[in-house]
Structures are given as structure tokens and as C-alpha cells.
Copies of this chain bind each other. A is one copy, B any other.
Amino acid sequence: MDKILRINMGPEGAPSMKEEGPGDYAGMGGRGMTSAIIAREVPPLCHPLSAENKLVIAPGLLSGTTAAMSGRLSVGCKSPLTGGIKESNAGGQAAQVLARLGYAAIVLEGKPKDDATYKIVINKDGVKIETDDSLKLLGNYALVDKMKAAYGDKMTCLSIGPAGERKMAAASIAVTDMEQRPTRHCGRGGVGAVMGSKGVKAIVLDDTGCSMRAPKDPDKFKEANKKWVAGLRKHPVTGEGLPAYGTNVLTNVLSEAGGYPTNNFSRGSFEGASKISGETQAELENARGGEGSATHGCHRGCIIRCSGTFYDKNGNFLTKQPEYETVWAHGGNCGIDDLDAIAYIDRLDDDFGLDTIEMGATVGVAMEAGLAKFGDAEAATNLVKEVGEGTPLGRILGSGAAVTGKVFGVERVPVVKGQAMPAYDPRAVQGIGVTYATSTMGADHTAGYAVATNILKVGGDVDPLKPEGQIELSRNLQIATAAVDATGMCLFIAFAVLDQPETFQALIDMLNAFYGLELTADDVTELGKSILKNEREFNAAAGFTQEHDRLPRFFQTEKLPPHDITFGVTDQELDTMFNW
């Protein structure tokens, strides 16, 4: 995994490509790789949809190995949603396959002069770039079916739906899962629009004939991986909670904690929570039978197995088991307590190629604007369908919550740096509020998941309702997360790593055994800091200041029931986040 493949979509006639060694990017992976390339090579003030922007697709440092949980893919660019740097991260098969094909990164550059639709096919024999206008405006499901028919049941597909082709700022890049379904998405920040601006509809990968990546010290690596797996299996969240109910196990927890944003962030508990909780969802899936009753991984090598399958009332496959944030976004945030409706919208989002968090938050803002009533699942579904059709209303909604709020003159718009907040209200989970405010990514729970320590009491116990201790908590998590995002590891490993020093050590041991290094925990911290530094510098040069590291004012002026609390971390405290 030491090649960088650069494809320039710009040249008249046909794209050009070259493969090169890693050069200055040697030893980088995942978010470390994407953020380094973007920070060094993309003009910070360029238009995100211009030829000057680049789309970097990178597996993690341990992707393509036998290390458990190493299948996360990073996609980076200047974001059309935030205007800042972006790393968007997904599971599915692509990271493992890409790494085994030997690529540390694929970089899409330039911009075609025509409006042809391109697909890129990569296997052990090389890289092919072809135009195929029959793919134009296909949904991700139909697209993947076509690719399966053409390239067989071993292929993995990265693709965009109509949203990405229309360059909508909420557009995602879909990654196929173990069942070859386009259910895992690099959702956040409009990375699909950047892929669309490059004219690329699909990237088909096949690692048939390629070997597993080989560690420098196979025995030590195997040993460390064993401890790693044992550690993950031992922890109650990664060993029990997530496998049993998937991420949606959080719905009841957050609603009971008063931190579940309801009806566009106007309340912190949802009366319909129990109807859409993970527990109810599991019961429903079990009752409907089929493979739905068993959880599984989203990629080869996953042992947490938080994925599931959602069947409709007739027992037909509808979508993957919707994640907690999706169930929240299209559920409680819109006052909707109907799991079938939520799952159907999840399917639409995946098919159109849309970030479920951004779309749910956007529908919430649209409801606030009076376009639909809170709780009206049919109206919400129709709004999302407008996005798929590309109507003017759909264009607005597909541009995300910030633009929708602007277009309809709405004041209560839950975004930071233009990106919608996920499923945790920063007034009742103040640590996550700090992460939302200060992350280089815009509002992003995965950038420093303080919910773990605020609510789940993993990695310590910091009172979610008080400002004390939240800065330090978020800082440590943001640094650790940046490092984890470089390894290709699923972020859920953090639960075990935070609580179990020996499991963290096993991760370091794997890296050392694989690369022949002698990294310490401090080195991992330094890696995280260096990634954040790259990202912060890019954002500063793109015009971001400490005034952008703020929550919208209403979190300070409107009290959130039931705790009747506002966000209490001061601006001055927020500005100490990156003093390390």
C-alpha cells in the first residue's frame, strides 16, 4: 500500500493518470493522508466545485491487513458544505480492497470540460477510465446492480447518486457493504458533490488476486491483534451493546438524559422515543425474521458487528438497519415515531446519495419554516423525494440545513460552519457542544465523541449539564480521534480503548509490528495533533477564525427542556481548545 494514483479529469478528450510513490506522504493513512494532501495541494480559497479542488480517497494505515476493525475509508476535499477542509469517513468494503490493491490514496484532480459521466475500474490488472452516459442520474442501488452485472460479485463500488451529480452540498459517496449494497456512506460535508464536479459516477474496485498486506513482524502482529480482539469483545459497549441493538441503542438513553434534540432542537426528550428505539427496532426485525434478526459487520474484519438489515412489512429488504443518528434525524428531530417511515427515508437517502444527518436536520428546519408539520412522516418523505427529483425545492433541501434556513428565513438552524448538528443537543450534552463548535469539520459528533464520557460514562465521568471539564475532554477526544481516523480503525474501538489501557496498547503494538516502528502513546497523540494542525491551518487560510468556533446564538438564548438549560461553555474557554 504505497502507491498514490492521481487521475486528472481535466485534459480535453480523456482524463490522464499517473501512479507515483508516496513521497512526502509516506507513512500516512486515512484522515492523516487526506488532510495532508488537501492542506498542501488545494488553494484554501478555491471554489469547492472548481478544478482546483481535489478529492482524496485513502484507506487507513492498518486497512488491508488482518487487523480487526480496520476497514474505514477516509475521503477528503475542500467541503462545498462548510467551505473548510473535510474528511468524511465510512465503513463498507472499499478501504480493505483499496489497500490490498496497493493504493495509499486515489486523488481525483481537475474537472472535465464536457458533462460526460465517467467510471473508473481498478483491479490487479490496472486502472481503466471510461465514459458511460447510461449511468447518468441513476440511484445508487440501480448503479450498483449494473456494476455487479458487469464486474461480478467480488467487486466493491464507490458511487454517487443524483444528489452528487447535481453537486448538492448534502451529497454523499456510497460505499458497498459485504452484501454489495450501497449502504455505507461518506456522508458529511458534500464529498459527493466534489466527486460529481469531477464527473466521476462510480469507482469499481476488485482485489481478486491481491494478497493480504503483510506485517514486518507477523508474529508480534498476530499476537497484538489477538489482544485487540479480546479487548473489544470484553468491553460492554463493543462486546454487548452495539452487537445487540446497533447504534440505535442510544435513542432511549439520550431521550432519558434530556439531550435528544426533538422537533428541530426545541426540546431534549422525545415522547415517541420508545417507539423508534434500538430495542423496539430489534424486536421488529426479529419478528419480521430473515437475516434481519442477526447483526453483522459492514466490512471484512469487523468483530463488533453493529450492522443489521431492515425488512419492510412484507419481509422484503428495504435498507440496512438505520443508524442511531439517522433514526434521530428523520425521527425525533422531525417529531416522527414511525420506524418504517424512517427506514424508508433512509433507503431514499442512500439511493439518492445523501447524508442522512444533514437531510434530517434540513427537514427539521423546513418543518420549522412551515413546509410540513412536525410528526408528518408522509410530508417528510415527500420532501426527501423532491431532493431526488432535483426540483427547485429539492435543490434547496439538498443544499443542507444552513442554506435551507437562509432561503426560508429561519432563525433556529442547528449548524456550525454550515454543517448540521447530529443527534445530541449541546445544551444537555455540553461536551459534544464543545466538539461541534471547535471541530475543524463543522458540527460533527465523530470528531470528538464526548457523549461517551458525558452520558455513557466511558473514559471517565464528566457531568453533561455543566461546562466544567468539557474543553479538556473534547480536546483529548479530538486528538485521539484524528489519530484513530488515520489508522482505518472504526471509531467504535474508542469505547474499549478509552477504558482499557491494554487494548490501546494492543493497537499501538499492531502499528509497530506492521510497520516496524516503535511508537508510544505519546507518538499517537502527536499524530493526532499534527493532523488537526494541518486542518486548522487550511481552515484559517480559507477564512475561518475563532468566531467560527461557536454554536448558533440560540443555544445560549433559548433554554432546552426538560433541563431548562443553555450551553454554558464560554467563548473564552472555547478559544483555549487548541492551546496544547
Query: A: which residues have CB within 8 A of B?
Result: 43-47, 49-50, 52, 80, 166-169, 193, 196-197, 391-393, 395-396, 399, 403, 406-409, 411, 413, 540-545, 547-548, 550, 552-554, 557
Check A553–B46 contact: CB distance below 8 A.
yes
* Cβ contact of A409, chosen from B197, B391, B406, cutoff 8 A: B197
On whether the beta carbons of A554 and B409 are closer than 8 Å, the reply is no
Chain B residues whose CB sits within 8 angstroms of the CB of A193 once the complex forms:
409
Given A47-B553, A553-B43: A406 in contact with B403 (beta carbons within 8 A): yes
Q: Which of B45, B399, B411, B547 contacts A550, CB < 8 Å?
A: B45
Q: Is the interface of A mostly helix, strand, loop or mixed?
A: loop
The answer to whether A409 touches B545 (Cβ under 8 A) is no
A406:B169 contact, CB within 8 angstroms: yes
Residue among A44, A80, A545 with the highest chain B CB neighbour number at 10 A: A545
Residues on the B chain within 8 Å of A169, using CB: 406
Q: Is the CB of A542 within 8 A of B553?
A: no
Contact B411 A395 (CB under 8 A): no
Residue of B whose beta carbon sits closest to that of A418: B406
Residue on B nearest A197 in the bound complex, by CB: B409
Tell me whether B409 and A166 are in contact (CB under 8 A). yes
- Inter-subunit contact A44/B409 (CB<8 Å): no
Q: How far is the CA of A407 from the CA of B395 in the complex (A)?
A: 6
Contacts of A554 in B (CB 8 A): 47, 50
Chain B residue contacts of A166, Cβ below 8 A: 409
Query: How many whole Å from A190's CB to the nearest CB in chain B?
Result: 10
Q: CA of A395 to CA of B407 in the docked complex: distance in angstroms?
A: 6
Nearest-neighbour CB distance to chain B for A272, whole angstroms, equals 28
The 6 closest A-B pairs by CB, nearest first: A167-B409, A543-B547, A392-B393, A392-B392, A395-B407, A47-B411
Chain B residue nearest to A551 in the complex (CB): B45
Q: How far is the CB of A366 from chain B (nearest CB, A)?
A: 10
A550 to B43, CA, bound (A): 13
Which residues of B sit under 8 angstroms from A392, Cβ to Cβ? Answer: 391-393, 396
- A117 shortest CB reach to chain B, Å: 15
User: How far apart sit A49 and B552, CA to CA, in the bound complex (Å)?
Assistant: 13
